[in-house]
Structure 1
Amino acid sequence: MTSARPTAPPAPHPAAPRATRPADQQAGNPWLLPVAARTWREGLHLLLNFPLALAAALFAVCGLAISGALLVTLVGVPLLALVLFALRGYGHLERLRARLLLHCDVAEPEPLRLRPGARGPLAWVGAMLRSGVSWRTATYCLVHAPWALFTFCAVMFLWTFGWAGVTYPLWQWALSEPMGVNLDGVGGGWLWDGPPEFVMVVLLGVLSLYAAGLLIRGMAHVDRLLVTGLLGPSAAGERVRRLESDRSAVVDTSAADLRRIERDLHDGAQARLVSLAMDLGMAKEKLASDPQAAARMVEEAHGEVKLALAELRDLARGIHPAILTDRGLGPALSAVASRCTVPVAVEVELPVRPAQAIEGIAYFTASELLQNVSKHSHASRARLEAWRTAQDRLLLQVTDDGRGGADSTAGSGLAGLAERLAAVDGLLAISSPPGGPTTVTAELPWRDR
């Protein structure tokens, strides 16, 4: 293998749910940092931290302390569940606030799950106490309060000092006497009562606003980490949700494949066999009266048999080609590349064969990608490569010199292909600028036979 090959496709997992919006990833004009919309949004979020976090922390401390003290009675346990339920509601408010002001789209955590067959208030109380989301939200309320106090004081001080300095020439006349700094401790020191001093105060205000902008960006990033880490779904919950989604996609894909096979059998080979049976019946009736006509009908039926066999062979190849089972992925990819209308160079470097399931998914992925090259790319040549990375991943890459513009969100088969790959912890990366070239990389987990 050459060193130019990537070890993984340059794209994040499609299921990755926690990410800031693209606008927040742009640096913007650094000269406009103090007055940028993002600075105002995030600064407002940090100022609102204190009153909201203070109320939540007081409620959490009092509620947990009182319910904890009453645990020896029958009231303590349901009271604790109600306190946790209220804190979960506060978590919804914090996720909404982060979405609006921090542009941080945090996925909803896993819902409350009752035990199978459990019903009634006691089951709800037990589920609330067992839920990790409830306790993570309570932890967020307790941890966020001191941080909210710091962010409030920092933003309030820097913004107040900065904007007071910038606007000082406009309001200094309202002072009963000039603001000044006595440098010698006796009197007659440096006073801010002239144009040079005005300029210095304004510059200090501008520097304060720039410092506020930078500090706001950093503190807002800490808030994003707190919200996503404590109020978002846990790693295990996100994994369960992804597996459930992938399972649904696999079931839908399997059902669609079964319907396709049924339709192909009904409209293709079955219809030919029915026609063949009718022709042979008519030939049998004419065998005694008109042997020559019967012979012609048998000859036509023989041709129908060949066509039916060819259709059944193609259908079987679409289900699972024999060459893939007998000879492996390399020869199977060469065979599917030979049927492409565009010349395809094939390079497969696999020292051993992967598991049959992974081999089959890789084969059908390559088959669909090459069909797209034939139908849509208008390319003059293409290249198909498959190799195993050092991270135990199987990479399949199809490149063509066509017109480009491939997009998995445009309702094409690439979206379904990405879902099928995601069902086995794989992913699909597409690079297809207008005018080409197009490179589609499929990554699959490597599993030995």
Structure 2
Amino acid sequence: MTTASPPRGRVGLLTHVGALAQLAAIGVAGSVVFTILATLLAAGLGLLLVLGIGFLFLVAFLYLLWGTAWVEYERVEGLYGYGLPALTLRRSGVPGFKGWLRTLWRQFTDGPMWRGVASAAIATVIGMLVLPLLGGLVVSIGLLFAPLRAGDTVRIPGIGIDMPAGGGVAAGIIGILVCAAVLIGFVLLHAVLTRAILVPSREAQLAEQARTAGAQRAGAVRASEVERTRIERDLHDGVQPRLVSVGMTLGLAQQKIDSDPAAAKALLDEAHTSTKAAITELRQLARGIHASVLDDRGLDAALSALAARSHVPVQLDVRLDGRCSATAEAAVYFAIAESLTNAAKHSRATACRVVVRRRDDGTLWARVEDNGVGGARVLPGGGLDGITNRVLAAGGTTRLDSPAGGPTSLEVSVPCAS
């Protein structure tokens, strides 16, 4: 497995000027944000025992923390182009109130979020120091032109000291040099600190790649086990008994072909009907293993055929500009197929909606929603378990939302080049 070294990012005069402008803005906005955060935290802890009202403040505090970190990641990435991954909300994957509490805890213990908050706090402190330096730079520039609008003496703003005009010019030059040097130092310090805090080290990248590869390998193994179990169950419960019945019927027809040709003919007709049904079941089973139309005509055509066979009316909305990898398309196709099967078998749904998009970040995204009774769960060995592991093996993620009473929605995101 080969890995790339951490990106160097963009450098240059425009980048440093942009950083300086952002630091000045963050010095004002960041102080307001962190004041609100401190207020929410204090109110949450102080009112926690008062009818649980404080808990709402703490939840608001947590999500404002995440929002602050998200803005910081986007700001630094837009400024320096380090190649930072987008910050996403952590989810427990467990439905209900208990799952929501787990989600809050996972978000609270999310390391990338706290690194983003730390970077924003440091940028706020640097920005608060930059603001007076920018003011001093403007004053120093003004002193250079003071002799043009003053007499023999000039007064230095903010200090109130009068000095000869020539001394004012000298003070302006010194002020410009000092303020510019300190501002450049702060800009360079900001670049170094944001890189150290937000950009993962090579060791961290290797560890994350190893963890991801391990998770994908485990998902692939689990998905293959679930698929094998499903095939064995379908063969044992469906096709095998039907073929045994065909064999017994043909045996009875063979016994009666001389003594009772009419009965033998009826048995042969029955065997013929059962054979065609078995062929149909085998064809459906093979389609569940591999959809040939997916390879031949792409995901849009394969989903159209899938929707046409569905027992529940399906509203299909597919907008794709080109093909993705076979692994990505297969993962999304079978996730949608299993969702439609579940909607027909278990949810008592009367309508389904399927939306598929190829997003700008290079992911293949799909959402399946039905108006059934809800209550869907990911059970070991079940169809949703197979979906989750198959998508995980392709490097993607799934999100199931199925409250009691419905509706049920499943979102799938898979890297297009997986």
Structure of higher RCO (CA pairs closer than 8 Å, 6+ residues apart): 1
Q: What's the TM-score once normalised by structure 1's chain length?
A: 0.46
Question: Which TM-score applies when normalising by structure 2?
Answer: 0.49
